[in-house]
Structure 1
Amino acid sequence: MSGDCCRATAGLKQSGERSGARSRRSNMSYKSALKAEQELYELKSRAAEYYRANRVPHTLEELLNQLFAEKPSDIYGYMANYFSRLAHTPVISSIAGREVYDSRGEAALQVDVYCMVRNEEKLVCSAVNTGLDEHRAESGDAVADDNHQQASVATALEWIREQLSSMLCGFNPAHQTQLDKVVSDFLMARYLEEQDAHNSNIKSEEEEKKIERAPEATPPPQPAQNKDKKGEKGKKRNSVEKLIPPLDPPPPVLPGAVVAAAVSLAAAKSAASLTAVPLYRHIITLRDPQALSAVFMPIPLLTVLSCGKASAGKLNLLEELILLPTRTYSTREIVVMGCELQREIKRISTSTTTSKTGPAVLGVSEGGALQLSLERSEQALDLLMEACVNLKLPMGTELRLAINCAAHKLMDYAKGKYEVMAGTLKSPDELVDMYVGLVSKYPSIAALINPFRKEDEEQWLKLSSLIGHSCCLVADAAYSPCWRDAKPLPQGVTWVTLRHGSEMTLTDLLHTVSQRAGTDGETILAVSSEEIGDDSMVDVAVGVGVTFIKLGGLSGGSRMNKYNRLQSIELELQEQGILGMRQMKLPWEQEEVELNPEEANLIGAEQCLQTNRD
């Protein structure tokens, strides 16, 4: 009996303990639920405050009202466009560089710009620069080392990876001036570092030479020379030969400076892409937003013939014969004239009945023009004039000729003369006479490009005084970055040719063109033949507002893409009603006697041919 009572008492005790545990658990669950509910309430309150602070309810209400009012077919597309307009302005998150190859198989730099777009990192645009300034390569100033270009690209890649990418992170790509200044300041700092290292090396070498240098013996006195008559005659004969000015020392080159042009253009293309506008329109807004009311197209300079040093014949002087329109032609009209002219030249050159020009070996130059094997300058010009007469082209009035002489390629420094034809050398003064004769014989020649080296300043001025009333002299205006002094142009230069060199940012190009706009001369933007399938430079030419763009001949896919892009921009501006009409006037046109255009064309060309026949 007592045992049963004990067991009953123990059972009641265990039952009470279980009941207490359940009660405690119930209290804990209630407290946890209460705490969770409190936390959820606080979270909802913070979320509501966050949404109110960022005007999310107001924005959604506006969106839903507009959506219901317009009832678009693509509801979510409409919503995506609505929200994209409210997104933050994209900024650069990083830039990356890659080594690619140009049309010659040489190393070139490609820069890729990545931006944070709606909270995602995206590759926006790329730009490529060959890293070789064409005018420096042509003039022989390029570094002799074949690996220089590849080393320059490698240096640029290292700078991008280790410094420039982080320096440009957070930049709005539309802020072109500030971005270009960062890049220019960076290059200036690298140049100063390189100069310090170079000067330090020179100083160390000089000190080593001083230590190793032995005392030099006094040289014996020179015996007196006999001044015979024969020697006197020799001295007199040598004094007649006029020494040419020495070649200017090559400008200092900063390895890796190719990064300037590539990064600058890539940023501009990215800004245009992010705002969904053409590149030329973006550049115009950088130059002058009001200029969008009337956009003037650059006039294409189309190369028809090439009879330069690379051609098979003896003639070296006529590197390029270029069509120079002097009235407003559309790009299509100029291209059609160029095609017809080349076909006619081919027909005349290959005709067995041609006795005046003789047989010519046909080919295509590196610049995309017909390449002929000719002996004299007159042969090429007569051939071109004959083709114009046959096609009734307005050569002499609405069409003129520009000749790229590329004389800096022809100088024989050992003899101090220009090799204008194989085996035929002419001094700078003799070359002046030759140009005067050509311009007087062929009045359609309106411009001579690079007729001398820049060092022959006396001949530039002399030629300008003789033919400046009827012919423009054109020289390359080499851009000089902040770390070197700019070389002044020779006196007598009328127009200049610019190139978007490897060291030149887009801001530099805009500044250079605007400076030229304040002068009476015109500006030509020459586009390198080595560019890698990119027509961006056509947009750049339209955007910066140059008068002419020199694209080369009508051959090669990359080159024809540029002509097609030029025509596309022209049609786009015409459709928008903002295509400006550029009035091209040569300096001497006011003094010319006005004739019926058709009569003047035929008379001018036929007179040239008749004069040559006589």
Structure 2
Amino acid sequence: MGQLSVQVDVYCTVKNEEKRVCTAAISSHCEPPDVAFPEAYACDDVRRSEAVRTALQWIGEPLTELLKDHQPDEQDRLDDLLSNFFTVQFAEEQERLQKKKEQRSEEAPPAESPAKPAVPSSGKKEKAASGKAKKGNISEKPIPPAEPQEPVLQGSVAVGSVSLAVAKAAATLRSIPLYQHIASLKHPQQPASELNIPLPMITVISCGKLSPGKLNLMKEVIAIPAPGLTFKQGFQMIRQLQAQMTKQLDAASKAGPASKPQSHLGSMVLSFDRMEQPLDLVMEAAKALELTVGKDIHLAVNCAAHELVDYQKGKYEIANGTAKNPDEMVDVLVDLLNRYPAVIALIDPLRREDKEQWTSLYTAVQSKCYLFAEGTSKSIGFLLAEPDQIMSQASGLVLRHTNETTISDLIHMTTKLKDRNQIHVLGTADGEPCDDSLSDLAVGLGARFVKLGGLCRGERVTKYGRLLSIEEELARQGALGLCTEHKFPEHFEEVDESQPSAS
């Protein structure tokens, strides 16, 4: 998206000759320009530049020296070295910030609290306010305050990108695809005879808070091909669906055919006022193609609820002029799923802080709909250190390979989620590079779904293309498995291993 990023090159000594073996780049945590306000984006651009410069400094000397003379197939050992390096850098940065904070507090003069002027009492106003309180009955309980954001260390992208580059180098030197190498790292004792291509979650409409219409709730409307199809068949089906949607929009437009604005997610940005409208558009397009929504194609909605909260009102602004408290949000979403049973997944339906409502929603819909945490989830590093913080009310997590996350972290996280009977989805971040390694990671890690955005923009299309290539390779080798029917997991704390799981 025209912003600075980091690419890592790996050089190895092969037969006494130094050769560049591979390159790698991972996504950035930074927000794209159409998400932030202009002044915030200008500030973020400065931070991004500093982060990239710091990452290059780390790669250029300390990390290069750290990995020198090691073998690329020592992934666990090298990832430990990278993680330890990051831990030291993070501790030093926290110490520096603490000293800076103490210095500022010492230099700041003591603040004098100004005397509050006496407010003359006017019996009418007090009486009116009292009457208003009675009329309004009991006020709504305030929502829990937002948890502080996790700090992102400048330069941390160096750790994750070097870890990926090491894995790519090992795969190259073994003369095997990256997905096969990742699968062997995850299952070293029992190599899989078959690998599945994850089901694609393809964004077909962006109609969230930044779209021109009143509707805010649906940041992404996502189409998912039915299990049992090949990736190519499902991919072509969604392409036809999107083409049909464009055709219908052009036919309904008085101005005639026109190019539709594209979001950074690679999908059409459309204007809607009600939740039903984008879903009805998809269903009408499917019907025109003689496809059955709920059988041939399923739907998912990324609510991105954490982006919708008005903290002054203590409510979610699901549409301009329409605000709902957390309990009301549960009712809205349950009603939506009852009216549109083809919606089999909600992503970030509520804030992480609304734990009570997450539990209520999960209890109500877990047998027919996945609830995934993406932006509402903690970072992978934090969850590995504090596994009790993994959201038990979610069906699974959308994992992103960003910042200091190593390949070993991804393997451990996916294993931990499986042990908890939760699903892992591999997803892209907003600031995504054109490196297609995420597709290999999704296959090698055995992801159930892969969330790459829409069918436009090169950084997303290259990943879809890579998945098509991987499927062809596996089919030629007779090692291609097919995804089975959707299987909605039971709550991991309530699983009875003596009983068959729900499907």
Q: Match for 1:407 among 305, 328, 339?
A: 305
1:18-29 alignment, distance < 5 Å = none
Contact 1:301 1:322 in 2 (8 A): yes
Contact 1:342 1:370 in 2 (8 A): no
1:94-113 alignment, distance < 5 Å = 104-113=1-10
Aligned-pair distance for 1:265?
0.7
C-alpha distance in structure 1 between counterparts of 2:338 and 2:283, whole Å = 15
| Structure-2 change in CA distance of 1:127 and 1:473 (3 Å) | same
Q: What residue identity is the alignment partner of 2:139?
A: V
| Structure-2 change in CA distance of 1:262 and 1:143 (3 Å) | farther
Aligned-pair distance for 1:286?
0.9
1:484-510: CA deviation from partner (whole Å, max 9, x where unpaired)? 867824453112211111120111011
Aligned-pair distance for 1:362?
3.5
Of the structure 1 ranges 336-345 and 198-207, higher mean CA displacement relative to structure 2 is found in 198-207
Percent identity (aligned): 40
Q: Does 1:126 align with 2:26?
A: no
Q: Match for 2:150 among 251, 260, 265?
A: 251
Q: What residue identity is the alignment partner of 2:270?
A: L
Q: What residue identity is the alignment partner of 1:201?
A: K
C-alpha distance in structure 1 between counterparts of 2:114 and 2:486, whole Å = 69
Q: Match for 1:518 among 419, 424, 436?
A: 419
1:558-569 alignment, distance < 5 Å = 558-569=459-470
Instruction: Tell which structure's C-alpha radius of gyration is larger.
Output: 1
Of the structure 1 ranges 407-416 and 138-147, higher mean CA displacement relative to structure 2 is found in 138-147
Q: What residue identity is the alignment partner of 1:510?
A: I
Aligned-pair distance for 1:223?
9.2
Contact 2:29 2:430 in 1 (8 A): no
Q: Does 1:573 align with 2:474?
A: yes
Aligned-pair distance for 1:331?
1.2
1:129-528 alignment, distance < 5 Å = 129-132=26-29, 145-209=44-108, 212-213=109-110, 229-236=127-134, 237=136, 239-289=138-188, 290-352=190-252, 362-476=260-374, 477-481=377-381, 488-528=389-429
Contact 1:361 1:372 in 2 (8 A): no
State the SS of the aligned residue for 2:266: coil
Q: What residue identity is the alignment partner of 1:400?
A: H
Contact 1:454 1:489 in 2 (8 A): no
RMSD (CA atoms): 3.2
Match of 1:599 in 2: none
State the SS of the aligned residue for 1:351: helix
Aligned-pair distance for 1:248?
0.9
Q: What residue identity is the alignment partner of 1:299?
A: L
Count how many residue pairs are aligned between Structure 1 and Structure 2.
Answer: 479
1:284-319: CA deviation from partner (whole Å, max 9, x where unpaired)? 111114233121221111222222223232222222
Consecutive unaligned residues of structure 1, counting only runs of 5 or more, are 1-103, 590-614
1:85-132: CA deviation from partner (whole Å, max 9, x where unpaired)? xxxxxxxxxxxxxxxxxxx22211111111111111111111123432
Aligned-pair distance for 1:346?
1.9
| Structure-2 change in CA distance of 1:131 and 1:486 (3 Å) | farther
Consecutive unaligned residues of structure 2, counting only runs of 5 or more, are 491-503
Match of 1:547 in 2: 448
C-alpha distance in structure 1 between counterparts of 2:137 and 2:470, whole Å = 59
C-alpha distance in structure 2 between counterparts of 1:479 and 1:123, whole Å = 32
Structure 1 stretches of 4+ moved >6 Å: 137-143, 216-227, 358-361
Aligned-pair distance for 1:225?
7.9
State the SS of the aligned residue for 1:497: strand
Match of 1:530 in 2: 431
1:308-363: CA deviation from partner (whole Å, max 9, x where unpaired)? 22323222222211122342211111111111111221222222499xxx999833
Normalised by the size of structure 1, how large is the TM-score? 0.71
Q: What residue identity is the alignment partner of 1:515?
A: K
| Structure-2 change in CA distance of 1:307 and 1:198 (3 Å) | closer
Q: What residue identity is the alignment partner of 1:107?
A: L
Of the structure 1 ranges 472-481 and 512-521, higher mean CA displacement relative to structure 2 is found in 472-481
Of the structure 1 ranges 140-149 and 409-418, higher mean CA displacement relative to structure 2 is found in 140-149
C-alpha distance in structure 1 between counterparts of 2:203 and 2:301, whole Å = 9
| Structure-2 change in CA distance of 1:190 and 1:562 (3 Å) | same
Aligned-pair distance for 1:401?
1.0
Contact 2:179 2:440 in 1 (8 A): yes
Normalised by the size of structure 2, how large is the TM-score? 0.86
Contact 1:127 1:265 in 2 (8 A): yes
C-alpha distance in structure 2 between counterparts of 1:460 and 1:223, whole Å = 44
| Structure-2 change in CA distance of 1:106 and 1:167 (3 Å) | same
Q: Which has the higher helix share?
A: 1
**Relative CO higher for 1 or 2, CA cutoff 8 Å, sep ≥ 6?**
2
Contact 1:111 1:263 in 2 (8 A): yes
